[in-house]
Structure 1
Amino acid sequence: MSLAIPWAELAPFLFIGFVAQLVDSALGMAFGLVSNAMLTLLGFPPATAAATTRTVESFTSGVSGLCHVLQRNVDWPLFARLIIPGILGGLAGVWFLSTVDGHITRPVMLVYMAAIGVYLIWRAPRRPQTFRRMRFVGPLGAVGGFLDASAGGGWGPVVTGNLLAQGMTPRMAIGTVNAAEFFITVTVLSAFIGALGLAAFTIAASGLLIGGIVAAPIGAWLTGRIAPKRLLMLVGAILIAISLYGFVALMFEPVPILPRL
């Protein structure tokens, strides 16, 4: 007996997952922003959209990281310097969220991301990116993991944005942060698994997952083929867009179409 696949129900979620992961794989951020926004447009409650996105991202980030490895977009020494602090920061963020109102961290993070975005757009046409040993990588990974857990997102924007601002080659920064993100996301998801359970795997989550898996290798391939200056400007624009979205969401939380970042 064959099991019929509800393609008509899956179609919009396949599209959302594909678009969100294409942006995330190519630019190193924004899966949560894009998928949350588009799910709420379809009428999902913000909490449901956030839970679905977090569940799916734990899988798509792994596929994206593997694709960046195959495209040789990963700097392994930097990866090693990020991974342990990132995991520890994620665990600390889960504890913080369970004891303190994590919303107080959002405005600070949004201002920081907007400033980095403006700087990257200003810098892109003026100075070429030159690879050098990155500074403050351990603390950066810890802060990124902490914000990812406590503020509902932040690993990609904070870590990728900072590495690019320091002057790292865009494709290597994006690929390395994507590869490390899998471990951070799984750590955070595992800490929240009691609240999510298997119920998080709905038709929406399945569609997002399939679309994301299809888009991940395309995004990783694009990262190595977009001119560094253009890639830098795109990342800066995404950071500013995320910040503006987050501030509007904080101001108008009751509006369903604008969930918190």
Structure 2
Amino acid sequence: MRTLILLALVGLGAQLVDGSLGMAYGVTSTTLLLAIGTNPAAASATVHLAEIGTTLASGAAHWKFGNVDWKVVLRIGVPGAIGAFVGATFLSNLAADLAAPVMSVLLLGLGIYVLSRFTFVGLPTGRLGLPLRKRFLGPLGLVAGFVDATGGGGWGPVGTPALLASGRIEPRKVIGSIDTSEFLVAIAASLGFMFSLGSQGIDLRWVLALLVGGLVAAPIAAWLVRHLPPRILGSAVGGVIVLTNVRTLLRSDWIDASTTVQGVALGAIAILWAAAIAWSVRAHRRTPTPAATSPAEITTPA
């Protein structure tokens, strides 16, 4: 019962972050499942099954608040679904002892990207209103979908920063469109895992716990997307992902670090993480608000 309650809370927290930042539900949830010893393919399958419900609820909530660009949803979501199905099949056929560290490396890379992106760059703006082309959205969706299924998360960390960096769509619609299109990715990944694994290693109670937490958080996150500082949230989430997956790798057969080395390494990462959050808070406070400055004039402080 304690595990189910913990998973529900993780699902709630992860969806709050995902719905307001456009990323991190899958990465955060999968990281926890790996930390408690879940088979990598089963962990990703569990998260994607839960995401079918959470992304549907999140997409509906974002649509209600006007945060969705449906052209973007279709142009990135369909290739994303194809990439996710291929990625799920690939992960399901990896040996478990190889898949665990491989997934942790992928998650660590995504965590470092999220942490550095939001700490030092923040949310770029500019070039709003220019069209996003299919030749950009198609390959982006394909790669993001594959990474999402093989890493247990990655649709948001790959797709959201890429769309934000284009400067052609306002941040709230980037987040809403990425969250909504993830529904297609979650369905395709789940089908890929089901065809390859069946129900092996998947605990439906865990799926339900993650789903319940996510359903509670989805409408709240869609409303909060206009109010929470994404830069600070991104630094906080990136640090959690980095810290947890470094711990997993240090304890794996690949490294098998001593307790002393683990303690020193994790302590150093925790200090850097705290510094990153402090930097983001300082940078956020120095950033002009839209009310004071037009979007074209807003720049991200160094």
Q: Residue 185 of structure 2 corresponds to which residue in structure 1?
A: 184
User: What is the alpha-carbon distance in structure 2 between the residues aligned to residue 147 and residue 121 of structure 1?
Assistant: 23
Unaligned 5+ segments in structure 1 are 1-5, 256-261
Out of 206-215 and 101-110, give the one that drifted further.
101-110
Query: For 1:1-261, what aligned pairs fall within 5 Å after superposition?
Result: 11-38=5-32, 44-47=36-39, 49-98=43-92, 107=105, 110-111=108-109, 114-115=112-113, 117-124=115-122, 128-131=125-128, 132-134=130-132, 136-167=136-167, 168-194=169-195, 195-197=197-199, 200=202, 202-226=204-228, 230-235=229-234, 237-239=236-238, 241-253=240-252
User: What is the alpha-carbon distance in structure 2 between the residues aligned to residue 40 and residue 115 of structure 1?
Assistant: 20
Contact 2:86/2:192, CA 8 A, preserved across alignment: no
Instruction: Give the TM-score normalised by structure 2.
Output: 0.67
Contact 1:28/1:178, CA 8 A, preserved across alignment: yes
Q: Residue 259 of structure 1 corresponds to which residue in structure 2?
A: none
Q: Which has the larger radius of gyration?
A: 2
**CA shift digits 1:107-130 (9 cap, x unpaired):** 4674466346424433338x6455
**CA shift digits 1:216-257 (9 cap, x unpaired):** 10011111333xxx32453355345434543443332379xx
How far apart are 1:105 and its partner, in Å? Answer: 7.8
User: What is the alpha-carbon distance in structure 2 between the residues aligned to residue 90 and residue 97 of structure 1?
Assistant: 10
User: What is the alpha-carbon distance in structure 1 between the residues aligned to residue 193 and residue 153 of structure 2?
Assistant: 14
Contact 1:120/1:164, CA 8 A, preserved across alignment: no
How far apart are 1:27 and its partner, in Å? Answer: 1.3
Contact 2:88/2:149, CA 8 A, preserved across alignment: yes
Contact 1:25/1:216, CA 8 A, preserved across alignment: yes
What's the % identity of the aligned pairs?
A: 34
**CA shift digits 1:39-85 (9 cap, x unpaired):** 577xx432265443232122211111111111111112211220221
How far apart are 1:172 and its partner, in Å? Answer: 1.1
User: What is the alpha-carbon distance in structure 2 between the residues aligned to residue 158 and residue 29 of structure 1?
Assistant: 9
Contact 1:33/1:242, CA 8 A, preserved across alignment: yes
- Larger RCO (CA under 8 A, 6+ residues apart): 1
Match of 1:88, SS state, is helix
